[in-house]
Structure 1
Amino acid sequence: MAVTCAEGPPYSAEGSARLLRPRDDDALRAELRVIAQEFVTPAVVFGGPVSEGTLKISETLGTRTSGLRGLSISPRLGLGGRAIIQLRPQSVEDYATARTITHDYDRPVINEGLRSIIAVPVVVGGGARAIIYAAFRQSTPMGGRILDMLGRARDRLAAEINIRDEVDRRVALIDTLVEGGQAPATSALIEGIREIHTELRVLTRTTPDSALATSLHALADKLAGLSRGDAPATDVTLSGREVDVLTYIALGCTNAAVAQRLSIKPETVKHYLRGAMGKLDARSRVEAVSRARRLGLLQ
């Protein structure tokens, strides 16, 4: 799930951080899939990122209509709007008759046949960054098991977003230090880069089974190279997704396994693999991995 542009993350409006930040929708989609698999009773799960206080539902699983996808939820309105403001889970067991919420979004919810709904905010830095929903077409008490399940997903997603924010902050610091043509070989900059490199290595150990760790490793190595004054070893440049795909292939993953880990389609994996092989002038997967490693493009 590595290197595509996200909408409006902090510290990355322009420059390097925007290029490095993974798309948060990818992480959200992966968590929704985990939630859907854990439910014994068929459920509808959906959610989206919160930007400038407004939620936009970008991911849906188990829906029968398209009414929820793309829906914008304003603060204080509906369950999601309440969750944004109160920063804690909000639920109703019978949506149509609930008096504790506004009914601004009745049409898409009722058309979908949803009755019991819970909205859980993903809180990072004191604010809601995403909302995760679980819903049922029958009245279902939102008890401890459901709350625990959604709470685990919320915590995983919050940790992932927090790490991405940290990477953006560190890259922004590098951009600030070199802004205006300042000499990159100054002792202060070198020590700053070494410190950032160490901290990034610590972050990678907190996400050992995430494609995010791959991007963190790559960024850490680039920072280490800056501190040594290394020159680029090659003119070949791989995109973040191409690096992600080659990294998992190097671990022995099949295209299907790579697709599952990156939350993309197997055909998309093939597309990135073909692109990487073309840039590396490789005739096979193994040769592509070998050349990428030799050129310092892959660990």
Structure 2
Amino acid sequence: MPKGPSSLLRPRDGDALRGELRRTASHAQIPVVFAGEVHHGRLHLSEFVGTRTTGLAGVVVPPRAGLGGRAMAEGRTFTVADYGRAESITHHFDRPVLGEGLRSILAVPVLVGGAARAVLYGAVRECTPLGERAVDAFMQAANRLAGEIAVRDEVDRRLAMFTRAPQDQDPAASAEIREVHAELRTLAQDTVDTTLQQRLRALSDRLAAALSGEVDGRPDVTLSPRETDVLSYVALGCNNTEIARRLSVGAETVKSYLRSAMSKLDVHSRHEAVAVARRSGLLP
């Protein structure tokens, strides 16, 4: 997992891996599933469902070693119908694999930016090729997990940019901060991890409050997450069509959220809404 200024914000990627693994075990109807994250070019097996022994726990897989090492190095899915006799892989890990009684095995890499960040395995204890349903379920799981990790990486990148940016009243810095705020809102919408979603929105709210200056004497106003999302892009100068594209909603939906926000803020134009939201600490 990347380290950086968002280390307190970012949940453990292993938790997302574990959740995806359990879901896939149910959908694929595979008796044994396991997985691990890739750190410093090596795969560390850490998550297991359906195993009978502890032989695979803590195994570290170098690139190209065994089935998972090959999937990690080449960035594609591999299967073997009889692990012990397979000629397409090395046999560094025969002892723990065969000790678990595994024969037919599938290994699917989780690719982010072309690099493997984890590997998912499915296995049965018979020399029977895994069916198309199982392969599809694992590939879909890998794609979902890759998308989640990519969102988390982008959050880290955005926060690192903010940390490095001069936090003064320089117009360029202010524009960058507003862009970061809007992107945090969009990332919150895109992630399927509800905990991360809540933290992203809380972080964007803190960013807005910290940089908005003095709050005026108006009563407290609470905007919905979507109303804030829309106003954050209005603040960047986006029109309704651009906002709809960025938030993956219809233009009429954007108008509806904007009207609702303007009503809550007691204003009559989109620009006035942005100004009041900033003075109220709702936008940077």
Normalising by structure 1, we get a TM-score of 0.68
Identify the match of residue 43 of structure 1 among 10, 27, 31. Answer: 31
Q: Establish whether residue 172 from structure 1 lines up as the match of residue 160 from structure 2.
A: yes
Percent of aligned pairs sharing the same letter: 50
8 A Cα contact 1:48 1:132, kept in partner: yes
* Higher gyration radius (CA): 2
1:94-243 correspondence to structure 2 within 5 Å: 94-178=82-166, 183-207=167-191, 210-229=194-213
Q: How many Å separate the matches in 2 of 1:25 and 1:46?
A: 12
Moved over 6 A (4+): none
Secondary structure of 1:18 counterpart: coil
Name the structure 1 match of 2:255. none
Shift of 1:223: 2.1
8 A Cα contact 1:194 1:223, kept in partner: no
Where in structure 2 are there 5+ consecutive unaligned residues?
216-280
The Cα offsets for residues 71-130 of structure 1, whole Å up to 9 and x where unpaired, read as 100001001110111100011011111111000001110110000101100000110000
Shift of 1:170: 0.7
| Number of residue pairs matched by the alignment | 216
Where in structure 1 are there 5+ consecutive unaligned residues?
1-7, 232-295
Q: How many Å separate the matches in 2 of 1:162 and 1:32?
A: 18
The Cα offsets for residues 46-85 of structure 1, whole Å up to 9 and x where unpaired, read as 1111112100001111111111111100001001110111
Residues 125 and 208 from structure 1, CA distance in 2 versus in 1: closer, same or farther, beyond 3 angstroms?
closer
8 A Cα contact 1:185 1:227, kept in partner: no
Normalising by structure 2, we get a TM-score of 0.72
Q: Establish whether residue 70 from structure 1 lines up as the match of residue 58 from structure 2.
A: yes
8 A Cα contact 1:22 1:212, kept in partner: yes
8 A Cα contact 1:185 1:229, kept in partner: no
The Cα offsets for residues 158-196 of structure 1, whole Å up to 9 and x where unpaired, read as 010000000000110111114xxxx53332222111111
The Cα offsets for residues 236-269 of structure 1, whole Å up to 9 and x where unpaired, read as xxxxxxxxxxxxxxxxxxxxxxxxxxxxxxxxxx
Shift of 1:230: 6.6
Q: Counterpart amino acid of 2:197?
A: A
Q: How many Å separate the matches in 1 of 2:152 and 2:213?
A: 26
Q: Establish whether residue 86 from structure 1 lines up as the match of residue 74 from structure 2.
A: yes
Secondary structure of 1:20 counterpart: coil
Q: Counterpart amino acid of 2:147?
A: A
Shift of 1:210: 2.7
Q: How many Å separate the matches in 2 of 1:221 and 1:60?
A: 38
Residues 125 and 229 from structure 1, CA distance in 2 versus in 1: closer, same or farther, beyond 3 angstroms?
farther
Q: How many Å separate the matches in 2 of 1:229 and 1:19?
A: 25
Q: How many Å separate the matches in 2 of 1:127 and 1:230?
A: 45
Residues 209 and 60 from structure 1, CA distance in 2 versus in 1: closer, same or farther, beyond 3 angstroms?
closer
Name the structure 2 match of 1:266. none
Residues 191 and 135 from structure 1, CA distance in 2 versus in 1: closer, same or farther, beyond 3 angstroms?
same
Q: Please, what is the CA RMSD of the aligned residues?
A: 1.8
Q: Counterpart amino acid of 1:32?
A: L
